[in-house]
Amino acid sequence: MRTNEISFRIRYSETDQMGVVYHGNYAQYLELSRVEWLRSLGISYKTMEEGGIMLPVISLSINYLKPALYDDLITVKVLLSKKPAVRIEFDYEIINEAGDLLATANTVLVFMDMKRKRPTKCPQILLDKLEY
């Protein structure tokens, strides 16, 4: 299965007064990793939308294990958990520079035809890139 990872530093604006990342920011980190996962396959999410396909999240689950802190360098690892059809599912691990597992997560998204506002099959170009 296809994996990818991104690393970045936690910004001050993402934390509370204790320097701990606000829990709602994790969803953005997951989105960032998915967009970069697509880019690593040579597919731009922007181009997909211009082609009439969008990917709304229909399920999001996060298990918080340890806090991410201001100025931590974190890595978000994303793994495509199974071959996409109408839905696409990802598993994630978020780790810090010391290698501590901070969170695990799962998202399910659906391929949506923007004109019809209906679910649709995974674009063939993505399936071809995954080499199933």
- For residue 54, give the CATH number of its domain: 3.10.129.10
The sign of the torsion formed by the CA atoms of 16, 19, 25, 28 equals: positive
Domain limits at 25? Answer: 3-130
**Nearest partner of 87 among 60, 45, 58, judged by Cα:** 58
What is the pTM assigned to this prediction?
A: 0.93
Give the chain's domain count.
1
User: What tens digit of pLDDT does each residue of 8-67 get?
Assistant: 999 999 999 999 999 999 999 999 999 999 999 999 999 999 999 999 999 999 999 999
* Residues in contact with 29: Cβ distance below 8 Å, sequence separation at least 6, in sequence order: 74, 76, 94
∠ CA(30), CA(131), CA(52), 5° rounding?
A: 60
Closest CA to 51 of 128, 125, 131, 1: 125
Report percent pLDDT > 90 for the chain: 95
Pull the structure tokens for residue 70. Answer: 């201001």
Residue 87's CB is within 10 A of a number of other CB atoms, namely: 15
Q: What is the pLDDT of residue 1?
A: 60
Q: Residue 132 above 80 pLDDT?
A: no
Express each pLDDT in 98-128 by its tens digit: 999 999 999 999 999 999 999 999 999 999 9
**Cα three-residue angle 113-118-123, rounded to 5 degrees:** 40
